[in-house]
Amino acid sequence: MLAIKKKLLLLIILTGLIGSVGCRTLLAPEYDKAIVETISTVSEKTMSLFAKVSEGTSNLNFSEREEEYNNLIGAYDALKIKAKARPIPKNTATKKINELLGTRGNALSGDYPSAFAFEKIANTLRKMKEKDRSSVIKPTAIAAFKGQVEIFLDQALTYESFLKR
């Protein structure tokens, strides 16, 4: 009899807990293997372009690089669209978690940091292409373009890989 009472009490406690926490939830987009693989391929091509122009560029032979710029910009724009195309469902648990975090001033946004990074990489390459076409890009400026791309790439790749739960 005592054992049944204990089980019943435990069941009541657990039902109460489940009732308050809700159900399983999804707070971030699903992992997409294709995105991670594409980042890897496109980043290799990007680093190859930077290796070719590390000594600087002259607009005299810009046409040799134009297609490469266009392909890379197109690839990063496509990655941005793919990254943002994953919906994050809103359910009771999501609402509850955000409420809990919000009360302490730490509400988490459902933004897509990888999509933001892809957009910034595409913009960086656009700027580099524009500069390459119109004048010269000197070695330190090339290093700064490369550094900017690498930092955003690390952000995108780290986030996308972390989505693999």
Partner 1 sequence: MNDNVLEIINDIKEVATNILQKDISTVRGFSERQVEAIAKQTIIIQKGVLNGDIDEDLKEFFLDGLEAMALNFVNTLKGILLVTVEKIWNAIVDRLLSVIDSIT
Q: Which residue ranges make up the site for partner 1 (CB under 8 A)?
A: 6-7, 9-11, 13-15, 17-18, 21-28, 93, 97, 101, 108-114, 116-117, 120, 124, 127, 131, 138-141, 143-144, 147-148, 150-152, 154-155, 158-159, 162-163, 165
Tokens of 40: 């890897």
Nearer of residues 70 and 135 to partner 1, judged by Cβ: 135
Q: Which of 86, 69, 72 has its CA nearest to residue 35? A: 86
Residue 60 CB, nearest distance to partner 1 (Å)? 18
| Residue 77 near residue 115 (C-beta atoms within 8 A) | no
Sign of CA dihedral 119, 121, 122, 126: positive
Nearer of residues 67 and 109 to partner 1, judged by Cβ: 109
Residue 5 CB, nearest distance to partner 1 (Å)? 10
Residue 155 CB, nearest distance to partner 1 (Å)? 5
| Residue 77 near residue 122 (C-beta atoms within 8 A) | yes
Helix 63-84 vs helix 139-162: angle between axes, to the nearest 10 degrees?
Answer: 30
